[in-house]
Amino acid sequence: MLYRLIRPILYRFQPDTIHPIVAGGSELVARTPILGRVLRRYFRVDDAALRTTVDGVTYPNPVGLSAGFDKDGQNLHFAETFGFGFEEVGSITGREYQGNPKPWARRMVRNESLVVNYGLKSQGVERVAQRLERTHVAMPYGVSVAKSNLPDCCGDVAIADYVKVYVRTKDLGRYATINLSCPNTTDGTPFSEPETLEPLLKALTEAREQHGIRKPTYLKINPDIQREKLDRIIDLVQHYRLQGLVIGNLIKDKARAHALLDYPDDHDLNWPGGISGKPVRNLSTEAIRYVYSKTHGKMTIIGTGGIFTGDHAYEKIRAGASLVQLITGFIFGGPTTIRNINKRLLKLLRRDGFTNVSQAVGTDHKK
């Protein structure tokens, strides 16, 4: 309720301005011993029914903070305090990049959506890795790996950049995600094409074996990827023994996203960037459902895109997601969002006779 009252004030500022202020201030509050402890008691929902183990990693609840919110590993205490079960840091790139020309984000409030055009803004892997080495939280986190968004970082150079980040962060975080889904780079998303993806996965597999990297590794894809291409990506993920897919944060096809908006007049097709939030919800859920069915539930899926409530999270879990992630729903819903989602998940699990969230994964396919 309080957030609903102050939200109009926050919205007087551009997202690029207010995000670092709110996130940085919340991180400071979360790090304050007494106040942080009080906030954690309120916002965190601790229940055995929500605790889940995925690919050997145990999460206190299945609701995570997506990559893109905490690009440089500066807000882990914030995520832990405000109820998230895990966080994905990054995306982290090999070299520093200041980001695409601003604005990096535009709100479409009536559409419950954002236009996102950061372009893999990053302080670079060395700086971020050193920060993570000094940061200690009980909450598990993952590392999102990407290539530097620089004109010379393409082809073999881009593959080397991915490998550099993957190896430098091998002892940081409990899992890694190879990010293919950012549409806001100078060369688009070249590694989302199966022909160019295979050399990347081959190089990462060689690095994994050479450096003894044992943590789970996932591939992040767009929610609007074509089924034929998705089939080939699934084959490659299985061939190179990755643990699964993260599906999927931003709609790359702006015209398609525009058609999904409740209020299309609020969106200018000339705005650069991908679309997040409500328009992504059904696309990502259907992609999750497809992958779960195609792989007979044997591939881990982390579902993201358009999650604002516990019902939205549960829908993705029943479709086949073992874990879920969000950013936009938290931005629009405020600090109590994750608490409310987890409380609602508990009610839905009990309603359906499940004693643990893992039992609900993929149950839509078992009717």
pLDDT tens-digit readout, 306-353: 999 999 999 999 999 999 999 999 999 999 999 999 999 999 999 999
> Distances from the Cα of 69 to the Cαs of 143, 151, 206, in angstroms?
12, 24, 30
Adjacent-strand bridge partners of 336? none
Residues in the chain: 367
pLDDT of 122 higher than 70: yes
Q: Where are the beta strands (DSSP E) in the chain?
A: 52-54, 57-59, 63-65, 86-92, 105-108, 113-116, 141-145, 175-179, 217-221, 244-247, 274-277, 300-304, 323-326
pLDDT of residue 177: 97
Say how far apart CA 317 and CA 301 lie, in whole Å: 9
Top CATH class, 2-366: alpha beta
Nearest CA to 236 out of 203, 279, 274 is that of: 203
Q: Is the pLDDT of residue 190 over 80?
A: no
Q: Where residue 189 falls among pLDDT bands split at 50, 70, 90?
A: low
pLDDT at 199: 93
Judged against a pLDDT cut of 90, whether residue 8 lies above it is answered with no
pLDDT of residue 183: 57
Mean of the per-residue pLDDT values of the chain? 92
- pLDDT reported for residue 20: 85
Cis before residue 66, ω within 30 degrees of 0? Answer: no
**Domain extent listing, the chain:** 2-366
CA–CA separation, 265 vs 269, rounded Å? 10
Task: Work out the average pLDDT over 198-225.
Answer: 94
* Statement: residue 182 has pLDDT above 70: no
> Residue 247 in contact with residue 304, Cβ under 8 Å?
yes
pTM flag (> 0.85): yes
Residue 6 has pLDDT above 80, yes or no: no
